[in-house]
Structure 1
Amino acid sequence: MDYEPLGGRCKSPPEVASWGPDRLDVFVLGMESALFHKAWDGHAWWPSPTDWEPLGGLCASPPRACSWGPDRLDVFVLGMESALFHKAWDGHAWRPSPTDWEPLGGLCASPPSVVSWGPNRIDVFVLGMDSGLYHKAWDGTSWWPSPTDWEPLGGLCASPPSVVSWGPDRIDVFVLGMDSGLYHKAWDGHAWWPSPTDWEPLGGLCASPPKAVSWGPGRIDVFVLGMDSGLYHKAWDGHAWWPSVTGWEPLGGTLSTLREGVMVAPLPLPQAARDIQPTSTGFHGRA
């Protein structure tokens, strides 16, 4: 199987975002821990198939990127002091500058997880040093609760959060607990459910952080590795968890890693299922 070479000398896995048809934006850390970027514009890779745009920084985590509309990109990293930093493409230029970053505070124990449920909206989640979940949001005008403060959402988390949105004003967050079970909370447009600091237990004995994806309103699919290194799945169908609140569908395999979920066309759910059983820049444009 052949691959297209895209150059660079990369220190982190790639992070990819899209803001419209025929558009891909790719971000990596270079060996000096700065951020680098390249984009597919529908015709060619920019700045070239093997060159990269330097975006500065001294980054302590892989980048996380999202888009809330055409020609908009928001990128987040942790700095060396474990605080969160942000930069954005506004359709004309990088803000606050091509190599500067906006400080967003915090003392973070995990890379950020980001999601957008609509234009001008970004929600960011991290683990704090107390293993609790923390949240902040851009509402189109300002960061809430403030540029450097965070909303505590409780928990004692053993994995970074996986976050997903299936519609306006909706967010679902998944983490592993200290018992290796999956836990969930949701923003329903008015409040955090089951409460700002409580979590819904979803069972399992998980050997990897969860990966969640949505392919439409009211639909969520979550994947984890079990202790047998097999892949397991559960789904929210808009009314209930399938195959049950604490049950999981086994998907087989002997896997060493769990990659991001990919949105696909909906398929009917199979019938057979069971629980998981305890058993600065310096590369001159090249990343």
Structure 2
Amino acid sequence: MIWLDNDFTVNLGGFSDQTLNEARELPVGSTLITPPVAVVSGNLVHAFGVGPDHGLYHWVYNSAARFGSRWSPQEMVGINIWSPPAAVLTGSNQIDLFCLGPERGMLHTRWNGSKWSTWEQLGGAFSSLPVVLPSTTGFDIFARGLDFMVYHVTNWKPGGPADWQLLGGGLFGEPVAASAPAAVRLTTATLVFVTGADGGIWYSAFEGKLWRAWISIGPAQHAASVGKDAVTFISEPVPVPHMSGDLSTGGGGTEAGPTTGANPAPSQPPPFSIASGEHVDVFAVGSDNALWQKRLDHDGWHPSGDWSSLGGSFACAPSVVAWAPRPAITTQTPPAHFSLVGPQTDNTIHRWNFDPTPTPLSSVGTWSADDNVSHPTFRLPTRYTFAVENIHIDNIRSPSSDTDLGVATLKIGGWPLRSVNFNFGDLSNGDHIYDWDRLGFIGTVELCEPVLYTYSIVNSNNPGVEQAIVTMTVKGIEDLINDLFKSVMPPPLGSLYGAGLFAWLGDKLLSIAFGGCDGLVAAGSMMYLTGRDVQEQMLHQGSGMPRQFLTSTRTELGDPPTTCQNSNYLVFTSITQT
């Protein structure tokens, strides 16, 4: 297992049955701004990651070394890198690397055991790390485009051209891809999965000639199932294929867990062939931070309704899928034992083990958590808290106090817009400091993803219009984002601060009949065209530990109605590495 600790330094370690083996940290200074990637070749572990200078670095850990450091010296492989690499072991000591370079085009280089080849440009323009499936003749490559659609190239060969195609060709209702794609190959088909902007997971299949139309397998849990908000997905899907000969007998066509949907329809066979004895388990993190699972086999999806919740409190999708050792001597096909290792919201790493042995409660096996082992700490360099820190009022709008309602939104890439509102109550002049979650969010911003955080504060002494204020404000931000995405050129970063956003939201709230001194008193935003811009600002203008960037926006309103005052609000907002 390879991960970043609290200082964003690479660590290498492994879980035994009961404990985490000793962590082997890289030398001080070997910090990364993206999660590390590793491949294993014999006694060697090749680790890769993007440094603060956006260079791509390579280290080798030799478990057989007896003297000195087992880590090799740091080696720079590339410069101006825009994504974590996809590393594929294609020979006994041959590694193919794919990543995004300048202009966010796809790049490739190969390690032959002693040196790296010259970088090749595969073209395109993307907003996610690549996903690569090797074959005996070439590579199938998938990535999310700048338009948040999934693109692919089939059977690309080093040195040859790359003919990028929209997956589905624009004819099959392609989903807007919130997450990076994930792909697996079975005996009869290649499957691609993505979390859509609707919070559900979608997939498409290729059987050798054409890609099938995209199919939604829904959110984790529909709203009708529990009588409250649906549980949508907030991470990329993690598919785990199980090929023939890797499975225990039975299990095909049985439910993988309880179905909470109301009278779910029976599972239907997929619109393509899957060999008997093969299946794919798909995992993803829901908006409740639990891990959810669904299984596809030749009979269809199981459960047929809502997904099965495995619990936990995940900060992101499981980062490692590890197959457990098989028995040395066996008289039957060994069962598909495997483990998921994932970061939790308490900044520790946990492991879950799957045992496919049927039980009275589950015919497909059971999950168990390693609660008695040590849990290493970690940090994700692309995970941030966006929040209002302090509201400093030099002059309220009302004669005695302002009754303020705050609304904040966060939009990251193709992910659904998030919103939160908080009633501050009666405020007078002075400082008003609040916990981050009053008007804040935690979110992961990849290097190629744009991000927009907004806040607005309305003075309203009428509780009857509170919901209308929230609804109209969120709708106004949605309209703003849609206009931004339609623009050929992005707006200047400063155009959404202060007066620009205030005027936009003020127009959206005109339909609300405010009385007296009520109305919008403050608005502001933090906007970045890419997550790399966030990284740069945190690096050069952030301070403290955890690192934080603090900014402020002043909103002054004159020409007040009779009995009202000129208002003056100074709002401090922050981005903190979480």
Q: TM-score, normalised by structure 2?
A: 0.39
- Structure scoring higher RCO (CA < 8 A, sep ≥ 6) equals 1
More deviation in 155-164 or 1-10? 1-10
Indicate the SS of the match to 2:153: strand
1:9, CA displacement in angstroms?
2.1
1:42, CA displacement in angstroms?
4.7
Deviation string 1:20-43 (CA, Å, 9 cap, x unpaired) is 433321111113111100112455
Q: Which residue of 1 aligns with 2:218?
A: 154
Residue 371 (structure 2) pairs with residue 243 (structure 1): no
| Structure-to-structure mapping, 1:50-89, within 5 angstroms | 52-67=119-134, 69-89=135-155
Q: Distance in 1 between matches of 2:139 and 2:241?
A: 17
1:188, CA displacement in angstroms?
2.2
1:222, CA displacement in angstroms?
0.9
Q: Is the 8 A contact 1:232 1:249 kept in 2?
A: no
Indicate the SS of the match to 2:78: coil
Residue 107 (structure 2) pairs with residue 107 (structure 1): no
Deviation string 1:118-173 (CA, Å, 9 cap, x unpaired) is 3x63211111111000001111222113xxxx111111212111111131432111
Match of 2:310 among 198, 202, 205: 202
- What is the number of residues matched between the two proteins? 242
Over 3 Å counting, the alpha-carbon distance change for 1:135 and 1:8 in structure 2 is same
Q: Which residue of 2 aligns with 1:277?
A: none
| Structure-to-structure mapping, 1:182-261, within 5 angstroms | 182-195=291-304, 197-215=305-323, 218-239=336-357, 240-243=365-368, 250-257=373-380
Residue 113 (structure 2) pairs with residue 33 (structure 1): no
Indicate the SS of the match to 2:378: coil
Choose 1 or 2 for highest CA Rg: 2
Q: Distance in 2 between matches of 1:166 and 1:248?
A: 26
Q: Distance in 2 between matches of 1:198 and 1:172?
A: 14
Task: Kindly provide the amino acid, as one letter, of the partner of residue 243 in structure 1.
Answer: S
Q: Is the 8 A contact 2:108 2:121 kept in 1?
A: yes
Q: Which residue of 1 aligns with 2:204?
A: 136
Q: Which residue of 2 aligns with 1:263?
A: none
Task: Kindly provide the amino acid, as one letter, of the partner of residue 204 in structure 2.
Answer: K
1:90, CA displacement in angstroms?
4.8
Q: Is the 8 A contact 1:19 1:73 kept in 2?
A: no
Q: Is the 8 A contact 1:230 1:251 kept in 2?
A: no
Over 3 Å counting, the alpha-carbon distance change for 1:93 and 1:176 in structure 2 is same
Q: Distance in 2 between matches of 1:39 and 1:190?
A: 40
1:237, CA displacement in angstroms?
2.0
| RMSD of aligned alpha carbons | 2.4
Q: Distance in 1 between matches of 2:202 and 2:186?
A: 18
Q: Which residue of 2 aligns with 1:273?
A: none
Over 3 Å counting, the alpha-carbon distance change for 1:15 and 1:84 in structure 2 is same
Over 3 Å counting, the alpha-carbon distance change for 1:7 and 1:80 in structure 2 is closer
Over 3 Å counting, the alpha-carbon distance change for 1:184 and 1:121 in structure 2 is same
Q: Is the 8 A contact 1:19 1:70 kept in 2?
A: no
Q: Which residue of 2 aligns with 1:18?
A: 89
Over 3 Å counting, the alpha-carbon distance change for 1:205 and 1:70 in structure 2 is same
Task: Kindly provide the amino acid, as one letter, of the partner of residue 179 in structure 1.
Answer: D
Over 3 Å counting, the alpha-carbon distance change for 1:227 and 1:59 in structure 2 is closer
Q: Distance in 2 between matches of 1:249 and 1:129?
A: 38
Q: Is the 8 A contact 2:202 2:216 kept in 1?
A: yes
Q: Distance in 2 between matches of 1:106 and 1:257?
A: 27
Q: Is the 8 A contact 2:175 2:202 kept in 1?
A: no
1:72, CA displacement in angstroms?
2.4
Q: Distance in 2 between matches of 1:225 and 1:72?
A: 33
Q: Distance in 2 between matches of 1:251 and 1:115?
A: 32
Q: Which residue of 2 aligns with 1:267?
A: none
Q: Is the 8 A contact 2:354 2:368 kept in 1?
A: no
Over 3 Å counting, the alpha-carbon distance change for 1:205 and 1:122 in structure 2 is same
1:212, CA displacement in angstroms?
4.7
Over 3 Å counting, the alpha-carbon distance change for 1:243 and 1:249 in structure 2 is farther
Q: Which residue of 1 aligns with 2:472?
A: none
Q: TM-score, normalised by structure 1?
A: 0.76
1:15, CA displacement in angstroms?
0.9
Task: Kindly provide the amino acid, as one letter, of the partner of residue 192 in structure 1.
Answer: W
Q: Distance in 1 between matches of 2:374 and 2:367?
A: 14
Over 3 Å counting, the alpha-carbon distance change for 1:212 and 1:34 in structure 2 is same
Task: Kindly provide the amino acid, as one letter, of the partner of residue 99 in structure 2.
Answer: V
1:189, CA displacement in angstroms?
2.9
Deviation string 1:159-209 (CA, Å, 9 cap, x unpaired) is 1111111314321111111111110011123311111x5211101122222
Over 3 Å counting, the alpha-carbon distance change for 1:20 and 1:186 in structure 2 is farther
Kindly, what percent of the aligned residue pairs are identical? 30
> Any gaps of 5 or more consecutive residues in structure 2?
1-70, 168-173, 220-231, 245-277, 325-334, 358-364, 382-578
Q: Which residue of 1 aligns with 2:287?
A: 178
Q: Distance in 2 between matches of 1:36 and 1:46?
A: 12
1:5, CA displacement in angstroms?
2.6
Over 3 Å counting, the alpha-carbon distance change for 1:117 and 1:186 in structure 2 is same
Indicate the SS of the match to 1:32: helix
1:252, CA displacement in angstroms?
1.1
More deviation in 180-189 or 160-169? 160-169
Over 3 Å counting, the alpha-carbon distance change for 1:93 and 1:171 in structure 2 is farther
Over 3 Å counting, the alpha-carbon distance change for 1:205 and 1:45 in structure 2 is same
Indicate the SS of the match to 1:228: coil
1:231, CA displacement in angstroms?
1.0
Indicate the SS of the match to 1:130: coil
Q: Which has the higher helix share?
A: 2
Task: Kindly provide the amino acid, as one letter, of the partner of residue 237 in structure 1.
Answer: D
